[in-house]
Structure 1
Amino acid sequence: MTLSHRVDSEPTQDKQALLAFISQVPHENRLQWNPNASACTWFGVECDATQSSIYALRLPGTALVGSIPSNTLGRLTQLRVLSLRSNRLSGSLPSDFSNLTNLRSLYLQKNNFSGQFPASIPLLPRLNRLDLSNNDFTGSIPFSLSNLTKLTRLFLENNRFSGPLPSLNPPNLVDFNVSNNNLNGSIPSTLSKFQASAFAGNIDLCGAPLQRCTPFFPSPSPSPSEIPVTPSVKKKSKKLSTGAIVGIAVGSAVFVLLLLLLLLCCCRRRRQQQRKSQKVPASAAAAAAAGGAGEAGTSSSKDDLTGSMEAVGGGERNKLVFFDGGVYSFDLEDLLRASAEVLGKGSVGTSYKAVLEEGTTVVVKRLKDVAVSKREFEVVMEGLGRVKHENVVPLRAYYFSKDEKLLVYDFMPAGSLSALLHGSRGSGRTPLDWDNRMKIALSTARGLSHLHVAGKIVHGNIKASNVLLRQNHDGAVSDFGLTPLFGASTPPNRVAGYRAPEVLETRKVTFKSDVYSFGVLLLELLTGKSPNQASLGEEGIDLPRWVQSVVREEWTAEVFDVELMRYHNIEEEMVQLLQIAMACVSTVPDQRPEMVDVVRMMEEINRGGETTDDGLRQSSDEPSKGSDGHTPPQESRTPPREVTP
């Protein structure tokens, strides 16, 4: 009897409040809440276990326009989470927001709210997280925020708040930002524990952690009686003694001798540098052409660079070694004459785009800090050169000398995943849609799985900038298998942000640490956040820990990239991929799946929709038009199943 009552219950009053809200605020088509269905099934609405009240309302990026009407959201008295971020809401908050006394998290960032600091917010005693950043609020920040004793995170940056900063001191505040406002005066000691970036952009703020404040009253000028009187000194005319003349002569002779020795040392050092520059290979020309001449020599002797590619012996140090089955036919001298530009400076070296005279374009990677012998280098290269897979960027050739180590790869004109995902976020940008993100993730997983299974190779440096893209958005991993070249002293920051916890201690990468790094890459695709993004919360928190904290507090929808919110009927797939990613980033290596299992699980997600010849869904740049209620319609490209965050 009790169970039947719980299933049939309906948050009637909360439902009426939401219908009143949505009827007065313009919005996207996908918010077509069906008044004949339970409010607990509506998009963005979550109810408690008894289905009797609404405890979470998440409507980020749904094109809500205008002000929030009174007597609507303020009636949701059991609400714990309210997210209206990334919309076009304006005006001030209605005064009846003070009724939301159970609210824990309030996300209003990236809207057009204006006016004074909302007077209702300091009246929410349970508030834990408050984000009003990127709006147009003005006036002062009230001291009454200190009454919010449970507040842990406060974000007020990128508004127009003015006046002095109050001595806020919520006991649990761990994250705070008021940058880019019009605040003035000294920073209270209660807030000086936060980094300088939290206060940047307020030109009239001073005090720790910014520059010291200048005293308001300048130091008084000394009175005439306090000015010390310097006694006059009588000038004496005196001829130099014989000893002084001898001393000056000896000193001059010593100075001239030292000057001659210095000139001799400079000449000898210059000749040594000229001899050394004659040994620098193709990367010197590439660096000079790309403005990177400071990393290499600026000239090269053709006598040292010519010679038959098939010859062996003394000229071997000046050869490019190509792998069988390659598509290129050029030598080191051709590479020297190529025009070049810097593509990027990574953790293992600098990459150049080199365009040869006949039009061939390749990527030349100039390695740094290589710590192995020539024979060890060649053994590693032979293993990498045998790898052939459509989702792995092939290594075409290499060069080894005492001073230079070069690798030659195919040029991928579509660029890297990092540039596509994070570049130019803002107006005019075409978002990377869900189907293409899934395609990149799956193709990258296949390439990494091939390295593990067929090549027995640990990639060692999985990150978004090492996932290169073909024109059809197929991903291909690059810079694989290079870790053995750097010895046991390889610094762990080579994979910062993506490194598995155990790598920090052992400095040794494994197949399981690759799986962890790939899991971070999946989280990056899902959240749109860089693994080292500073706004993830506590100082030093990484992306996996941030996602875990959000999911643990049942705010799963806050995890996903706002650019994905314009697409409908993908929530289930995003949650499934999130579960795979969380398994990959387990802190215990043995609990992480193998890459072949990761590929299999991702392929199962893909089977739900229309597929192309390679087993991936056809990508669409147009967002879905929405449906009646939260349950996908029959024509949806994903089967309707209940989603469990």
Structure 2
Amino acid sequence: MADASRHCCLLLLILLLLFLSCHRSNSEPTQDKQALQAFLSGVAHPPRLQWNASDSACNWVGVQCDSSKSYVFSLRLPAKGLVGSIPENTIGRLSGLRVLSIHHNSINGNLPSDFANLTLLRSLYVGNNRLSGEFPASLTQLTRLTRLDLSFNNFSGPIPFSINNLTHLTGLFLQSNNFSGQIPSISAPLDKFDISNNKLNGSIPRTLSKFPKSSFAGNLQLCGDPLPPCNSSFFPSPSPSPIPTVPSTPAQRSHKKKLSKAAIIGISLASAVVFLALLLCLFFCLLRHRKRTPKSPSKAAAAAAGGAVVARSAAEAGTSSSKDDLTSGTGPEGAERNKLVFVNGGGYSFDLEDLLRASAEVLGKGSVGTSYKAVLEEGTTVVVKRLKDVVAGKREFDAQMEVLGKCKHENVVPLRAYYFSKDEKLLVYDYLPNGSLSALLHGINPTSISLHFLSAFCFLHFADSLELQLLGHGKGSGRTSLDWDNRMRTALGTARGLAFLHVSNNLVHGNIKSSNVLLRSNNEPAVSDYGLTPLFAPSPSSSSTRIAGYRAPEVVETRKPTFKSDVYSFGVLLLELLTGKSPNQASLGDEGIDLPRWVQSVVREEWTAEVFDVELMRYHNIEEEMVQLLQIAMACVSTVPDQRPSMPEVLKMIEDMNRSESATDDGIRQSSDDPSKGSDGQTPPAETRTPPSSVTP
């Protein structure tokens, strides 16, 4: 009887375990599901974002539960077209939430006070919305936060000292709001920090001085390291030791009063003089700017302003307007609007949200858009290009991206992914660590300098004018000496890449210039920004001066690049390699003569050594090679398109020249920094630096 009782108990126990197991496998975070439904019903959203009430909340778009499906672990709804304020008693009820990502929407109001209940929250991303009010007090109670992003909203008032409650915070992004007052000393272990473009004043706390100037830019009344030092007159001087006071006479009090008035008048006059000087400086800069670009100053300023606003992150610059998503995100096309599309496999595993969270820096602003170096959280580094003024529709854009995705060649930068929405078009490329040929030849990067000045919006026109001036300088700080062998390698590799685009893909590059020739880690060149011209409206003849020096004469008239115009641009690139001069360098002539005509004018004067870069004069036995490459370049820049060789023909000429050099090279070429010895330890033969006048290119 006892055995039967034991067997019965064991059977009941097994049945109970089976019941609990089945119940666990079909578990549902019921309370969290109700909170999510209340949230979605309280904000406007596009039809494509629908959560099926009959399905588990753990299967909904943007919702991730823990392994047992007992609570919601993360809620990720970036750029989903959400409009309105977050209702109380909705998201605040998700007590197990670790990650909340609702940036790049149109959420307004302030964050609900019940956010203080999210005590396990570690990452909060609400940037690029329309949130307003003071710094949300509820956030200072979330002591486990490691990432807090409130950027690009309308928050105002002071930054509370209670932010120091967040002792685990490693990233704090408050830029582009209306925060005012002084910055509190923050003791959290921050590795990322940005508070630029607010209304803050006073001295920067010592705990934050390790961050770069860009983290504080746009706050005109901030001072202290890393910004200029604070004026000591703004602060009270140390109190001297007590001295017995002697009552002053009425005459002395009158004298002190007069001195005080005089000081006020002096300060006022000095301020007026400084203000007038700034106005005059700005006026002259604007005059110069208008003389150089008389037809499009407003457009240049607007483009520069856009570059200043988005300078922190490629991701922040590369998302669409959520309002437009809401109004136009219906149908199959709208369902794919926020998808990062990988071409030909892509080679990466991140998604759009990972890209949006990436930290980034501006690499340069070109004729088709702005490029950013984006470092994703898992450490992957890519280049994101944010295109501007695209007129192609989604179907045409997708078709062109499919064509570009098939371009696989060592000397072509591969397109990895793209993103298309009504307001934003992004391209994702590999990041090449050695920079561009332009930076290597000319040193100064005018875009980064102009964006540095643009951090103060009131100097917008001044910085834009400065940028135009800097474009005229061929050499500057940071210039790397580029020897002849590397220049030949660059010419040959670039020619191979362009010939591949022309022959294998029937693709016109359309934007050849030295800043679009990038260098891999082994210094092998790769062309970028190819095949993008069909996406844009034909540019006017007065468009960007950055590509004017490379543009073929017929393109100025037809505004349509061709294979032959690519050859012309490549010829200009060869001249740039030979002369070391920028094609739009102002010093080439008083009347703005371009590089090909300048070379022709010098050649007509019986081959003066003025043609070639002085850096090349340090190397022996290369005059004949320079002349040969110059002949190829001059054939490429012929005024008549039909007289130019094709790109495969140009490639063959350079390859033949290169083979000839390899066959005759006896190993004595070296820099004349050591003029007494050749590479084999022998004294090199005497030679002249001036090419013979009998040779005509």
TM-score, length-normalised on structure 2?
Answer: 0.46
Structure with more helix by fraction: 2
TM-score, length-normalised on structure 1?
Answer: 0.49
